[in-house]
Structure 1
Amino acid sequence: MALAVLDCAHFTAGECRSCTWLGQPYDDQLAAKLAATRSLVDAPGLEWLPPVASPMAGFRNKAKMVVGGTAAEPTLGILGPDGAGVDLRDCALHEPAIVAALPVLAELVRRADLTPYDVGSGAPVSQRGELKHLLVTASPEGELMVRLVVRSTAVEARVRKHLGWLRDALPAVRVVTLNVQPEHRAVLEGEREIVLTEADTLPMRLGGISLHLRPRSFFQTNTTVAAALYAEAVAWSAELAPTRVVDLYCGVGGFALHLAAPGRRVSGIEISADAIASAERSRDEAGLPGEVDFAVGDATAPEHAGLLAGADLVVVNPPRRGLGHELAGRLEESGADHVLYSSCNPATLARDLADLASYRPVRGRLLDMFPQTPHAEVLVLLERVPGQRSE
């Protein structure tokens, strides 16, 4: 029997090649990802659990759509080599709530006369138009956060004028914002966010915890696999029974809040103040203020080294660049018995494991956060080698 392959007219026509592994049977994708990861991350006694598969389609909880065309006939998708918009409203990767929302948002562009920004293909750049991107995030309940990335605030009044229409046409909308990105460069969003709705967060309910996403908060792009990732961390941690947990890249609190338990103290640190505000709100709603604390700060900065004092489990979920030599060195010097490392880049994970010589990987699992591409999330449990504990 043939293995499942996702069909995409845009890929077949050569309009979009973002899904570099599209056309490769999904079982083969999983096998290839696991083989590539194991070739980089291997050690005596390391147990690899079976990969966690994802739905092949309808799994992306966030759409990042370049707006092209004209205000009267906008395209939502990507720009082709000639700078013309390629409409991907029917992209099979997006969750159904997003696919249903995109035609309504295209109508908002028309009604509010939001001229797409002209990136220009030569010099001098025209820099005409206002609307650059539409960013849409869907919660597990189908609620939506819609962000319009614009060049300036010139269109704010027009967008506000049509908010009532948008709510009627798209009742799932919870949060609407304008993100101001005035620079002519390849940057998805700017620093300034103008919230146009009463609600300013999108609750992502996973495993009994509601994680509040603010507009510029990071969240895993695949909700189903994110839930599995947190559940795996909870199960592995339960076996260890730690009393002091430190999450060094806590984001909106996903790992920290899921790992909270009676008799256990959990601390998280994250460089984004918005993310920490979200984490604290989620913590308070979950009734965990006495068990979990959060702080704004750079986990890699030496002044936060004291946060590791007394920790018996450290959770790290760094960006693709990994931990780096200095932070790995501080983990080496800590007294933590175990490290739970969640990585989106096996190459930097392997480099960091080489730096963490006092630890050995004992368990690993690949979680397929990004089907149709060579990327995946990997969760690895490290334990300190006997006799290597710092004094």
Structure 2
Amino acid sequence: MALAVLDCAHFAAGECRSCTWLGRAYDDQVAAKEASARALVDAPGMRWLPPVTSPPAGFRNKAKMVVAGTAATPTLGILGPDGAGVDLRDCALHTPGIVAALPVLAELVRRADLTPYDVASASPVRQRGELKHLLVTESPDGELMVRLVVRSTAIEARVRKHLPWLRASLPAVRVVTLNVQPEHRAVLEGDREVVLTDDDTLPMRLGAVALHLRPRSFFQTNTPVATALYAEAAQWVAAIGPRRVVDLYCGVGGFALHLVAPGRRVSGIEISADAVASAERSRAEAGLPSAAVDFVAGDATAPEHAGLLAEADLVVVNPPRRGLGTDLARRLEETGAAHLLYSSCNPETLARDLADLVSYRPVRGRLFDMFPQTGHAEVLVLLERTAQRSE
């Protein structure tokens, strides 16, 4: 029997259409995603494991809330077609901890008199208001990272003044920052982060591994499914037994740290220096030596990493939605790696990349429903080399 459709008053009223598949029963959503992934990626002899499902609600560990209205009566959610704020504090997708935190954060806006940014004031001389977004992340331990995206640091003193009240009212808060985004354009966050608390990372404990998230670090939005994804990858890699692993796009070390094993060396490459610092901290806390797993800050597609790739028995790739692209696929073709482990949030670009990886064939795949109520999904695919590289 199909699971019931998730009820959402905001969707029914036409206020929010972010969950494009909300009108479909959850098990039908999963079946449709798997069918689409198989149609794009399937190959002769490939084995598909049953999909990893998610709770259909209460799974999203990060809230990205536009702040609108006034300081006295703010809305936290999205902007409607008329530019007015639509309050989504009760969004059913967010974890219970985030849902409980949002009213307290709305009260912080009121107490500290944090005027929401007016998106209608386009020119610099007319720009009004300071607070653009509230970004809230919850860890598996129930701790929170709260980021206030602001036009400038003009409100920093007011936020600092009310931090004791916030921490007393919301004890789960571990990290609070101001992210400065001065430009008048549709950009979620800026390059400058002002940390207001002693702690500057949020530990995400996934089994035996704790990944430290800094404010601008990427992490999967669905913690239970991300935990299953890393565990599955570790099982597949254990069955292969590679001695040298290179993890491109390693982020804060999710795959790399889960793939450490006796007799194996793992290297992660990540363009964000902050993410590399987080990965190194997680490695140190886990008691792992750099000889077992090391991290390099740099562009995964840069030619200077050719030496690392040449050593690899297994290459892990977890690219952005745009995929690997022809140039990196060609470089992977030129390596001697016997296997590739590809984690994709976009099966369409995955299929395109597989067409470029002509020396490899997919042998195993599994869908991870990271994004219920939408058509998006994560797909993990193991590829094995079927042809030797040409010299």
Specify the TM-score bucket, using the shorter chain as the normaliser: over 0.9
> Structure 1 2/226 Cα, relative in aligned 2: closer, same or farther at 3 Å?
closer
Name the SS of the counterpart of 1:154 in structure 2.
coil
1:339 matches 2:321: no
* Residue 27 of structure 2: aligned partner: 27
Aligned counterparts of 1:37 and 1:82: Cα–Cα separation in 2: 37
Aligned counterparts of 1:234 and 1:281: Cα–Cα separation in 2: 21
Aligned counterparts of 2:383 and 2:389: Cα–Cα separation in 1: 13
Name the SS of the counterpart of 1:153 in structure 2.
coil
Aligned counterparts of 2:357 and 2:278: Cα–Cα separation in 1: 31
* Residue 16 of structure 1: aligned partner: 16
Amino acid at match of 1:327: L
Identity of aligned residues (%): 84
Q: CA RMSD in A?
A: 1.2
* Residue 287 of structure 1: aligned partner: 287
1:354 matches 2:344: no
2:43 touches 2:361 (CA, 8 Å); kept in 1? yes
Point out where structure 2 has 5 or more consecutive residues left out of the alignment: none
Alignment size in residue pairs? 390
What do residues 133-152 of structure 1 show as CA deviations (whole Å, max 9, x unaligned)?
00000000100000000000
Name the SS of the counterpart of 1:6 in structure 2.
coil
Name the SS of the counterpart of 1:342 in structure 2.
strand
Name the SS of the counterpart of 2:154 in structure 1.
helix
**1:309 Cα deviation (Å)?**
2.0
2:121 touches 2:128 (CA, 8 Å); kept in 1? no
Amino acid at match of 1:317: N
Amino acid at match of 2:91: C
Aligned counterparts of 1:187 and 1:124: Cα–Cα separation in 2: 16
What do residues 329-373 of structure 1 show as CA deviations (whole Å, max 9, x unaligned)?
111110100000000001110011011000000000000000000
Q: Deviation above 6 Å: which 4+ runs of structure 1?
A: 121-125
**1:3 Cα deviation (Å)?**
2.5
* TM superposition score normalised by structure 2: 0.98
Aligned counterparts of 1:319 and 1:390: Cα–Cα separation in 2: 29
Deviation larger for 282-291 or 154-163: 282-291
Aligned counterparts of 1:319 and 1:295: Cα–Cα separation in 2: 18
Aligned counterparts of 1:199 and 1:123: Cα–Cα separation in 2: 36
**1:50 Cα deviation (Å)?**
0.7
Equivalent positions of 1:81-120 (< 5 A) are 81-120=81-120
Equivalent positions of 1:309-320 (< 5 A) are 309-320=310-321
Amino acid at match of 1:311: A
Amino acid at match of 1:11: F
Deviation larger for 30-39 or 98-107: 30-39
**1:390 Cα deviation (Å)?**
5.3
What do residues 244-286 of structure 1 show as CA deviations (whole Å, max 9, x unaligned)?
0000110000000000011110000000000000000000110
Amino acid at match of 2:214: R
Equivalent positions of 1:1-391 (< 5 A) are 1=1, 3-120=3-120, 126-289=126-289, 290-385=291-386, 387-389=387-389
* TM superposition score normalised by structure 1: 0.98
Aligned counterparts of 1:265 and 1:156: Cα–Cα separation in 2: 44
Name the SS of the counterpart of 1:115 in structure 2.
coil
> Structure 1 202/123 Cα, relative in aligned 2: closer, same or farther at 3 Å?
closer
2:121 touches 2:127 (CA, 8 Å); kept in 1? no
